[in-house]
Structure formats: structure tokens, C-alpha cells
Amino acid sequence: TGSTAARDASVAQRLRAAGCVLLGKANLSEWANFRSTRSTSGWSGVGGQTRNPYALDRNPCGSSSGSGASVAASLCAAAIGTETDGSVVCPANANGIVGIKPTLGLVSRAGIVPLAHSQDTAGTMARTVADGAAMLTAIAGFDSRDGVTEGSGGHVSDYSAFLLEDGLQGARLGVARNYTGFHECCESLLEEALVAMRDAGAQVIDPIELPNKGDYGDAEYDVLLYEFKADLNAYLLGRPDLQVQSLAELIDFNRSHADQEMPYFQQEVLEQAQ
């Protein structure tokens, strides 16, 4: 805490250029929830526990917990989240808002604390699809500070142009039933949504079974461990204003400040990555 980056992240630069007023930073799951096997979504040593504004004792999901909660509570018109593995779409779902997770390379990651370069991206979080699309228009595009954006030069210039009342007419939507069935209330809401989408002209293909569910989780986790160490070390070396300059120093810092940083869970994922 107390340190200021030498320059804005590219996403912040683009938002300012588009006329947005930046209100501040929101709490999040510390280190994108990549710290412990039993960590809590929305908790950090700096901000404490983020709460779901619809039910203060319920999970806000994460890791972009504060962004999701602040939009849902109307503390801001929209927010930015970052996603490696569900960290935009999950808090959007849990807080009842719209989350857009862009294709990797559409939005620059320059200035954003990394988890893994093969999956990281920023995304928009808003109360309406229209607001989310307008924000995506503002932040998308090539950035010389992030080579992964090289292919985004011909991206859509205005995502709001696709906000059509008959946008579902003729769309083919599959219902992956091997990802459903967890709670009867959720199932009821899903069925209502399917009826609404059919009424709006969508062709709903129900059911479909997506193959290979769960087959690649272990391999993905190995990739995240390696990329996290390399990417975080590179980021920290570029921030001489911070108290820690490497993952190893971060682990030592947490041990030295265990009362603040580890009152509820430990840092075995950080240690495994190291």
C-alpha cells in the first residue's frame, strides 16, 4: 500500500481518453485468488472481505470481487475486472451484473498485475449489456506495450452497433447439461431464460454434452504455476517503488506480516509456484 505506479495502465489511459471518470480501485481476491488452496473470494490483507451487496453473508465470487459488488451496489456505472480463469464472469454472475471476458489479445494487459500471460485479460463489468459494450469499445485495440494485442488492429470499432432488439433471431444456442444440475433454484432460472431466448427467436439445442470436462485442469494448473512466477517476477522488477521485488520476497513479506496477511488461510500456492 502507499505506492503509486509511474504511469497509468493502458486500460486506464483508454478509459480517460474516452471521457470516463475513474473513481478508484476496488478490493479483490488477493493475488487473483492464486494464493491458497482454501482462500476466500474477495478477501485481501489490505481491504478485508468484500461482501455481496444482495446478501452480505454470501460469496461475491472473484477474483474481481470489488468490481462486481460495486457495480451491483450502484457505486459506479461500470468497472474493470481481470480474468485468468473466471475472475470476470464469476463475480458478474454472483452479483447479478453483466461481465464480458474478451478474447485474449483484444485488450492490453500493460500495467496490470499478472497471473499468467497465456490466459490473463481485462474485461468489462456493468449493469447492462449496452454499458459493457460501450466500455469494451473504449478499451479494445492495439497497444505497443503488450505484444499480444498485435492481432487486434482490425477489431470491431463499436461493439454497441451489435445491440439489436432482434439479435437472437436465428442464433443457435446449445445447453451443456453436464455443467448444470447443482441447485433447483438455479435450474428454475435457467429454464425461464431458455424460454425467453426461444421467444426471442433463438434456436435452443438442448441438451448437448461438452466433451473433456475436467480433463485438463491439472495441466492448466501446472502452466499457471510456472507463468505466475515468471510473470510476477518480471512485473515486480519494473516496480522499484514496491516493498517486494520478487515472488520469494513476497512470500517472506507475508510470513513477516502473518497477522495481517494470513489470519484465515496460508500461501501454499505461492510457495508451490516458487
Residue type at position 236: L
Tell me if 66 sits within 8 A of 54, measured CB to CB.
no
- pLDDT at position 18 is 97
| CA–CA distances in Å: residue 136 to residues 76, 100, 132, 140, 248 | 16, 8, 6, 6, 36
pLDDT tens readout for residues 149-170:
998 877 789 999 999 999 999 9
DSSP collapsed to 3 states, 117-168: CCCCEEEEEECCHHHHHHHHHHHECCCCCCHHHHHHCCCCCCHHHHCCCCCC
- DSSP letter (8 states) at residue 266: -
Q: Given strand 121-126, what is the order of strands in its sheet?
A: 78-83, 121-126, 98-100
- pLDDT at position 54 is 97
Tell me if 60 sits within 8 A of 40, measured CB to CB.
no
pLDDT tens readout for residues 175-216:
999 999 999 999 999 999 999 999 999 999 999 999 999 999
Q: Whole-angstrom Cα distance, residue 247 to residue 95?
A: 32
3-class secondary-structure state, position 44 = strand
Can you give the pLDDT of all 274 residues of the chain as single tens digits? 678 899 999 999 999 999 999 999 999 999 999 999 999 999 999 999 999 999 999 999 999 999 999 999 999 999 999 999 999 999 999 999 999 999 999 999 999 999 999 999 999 999 999 999 999 999 999 999 999 999 887 778 999 999 999 999 999 999 999 999 999 999 999 999 999 999 999 999 999 999 999 999 999 999 999 999 999 999 999 999 999 999 999 999 999 999 999 999 999 999 999 9
Residue type at position 43: W
Neighbouring-strand partners of residue 83: 121
Q: In which element (H, E) is residue 204 found?
A: strand 203-208
Tell me if 84 sits within 8 A of 29, measured CB to CB.
no
- pLDDT at position 1 is 64
- pLDDT at position 223 is 98
- DSSP letter (8 states) at residue 189: H
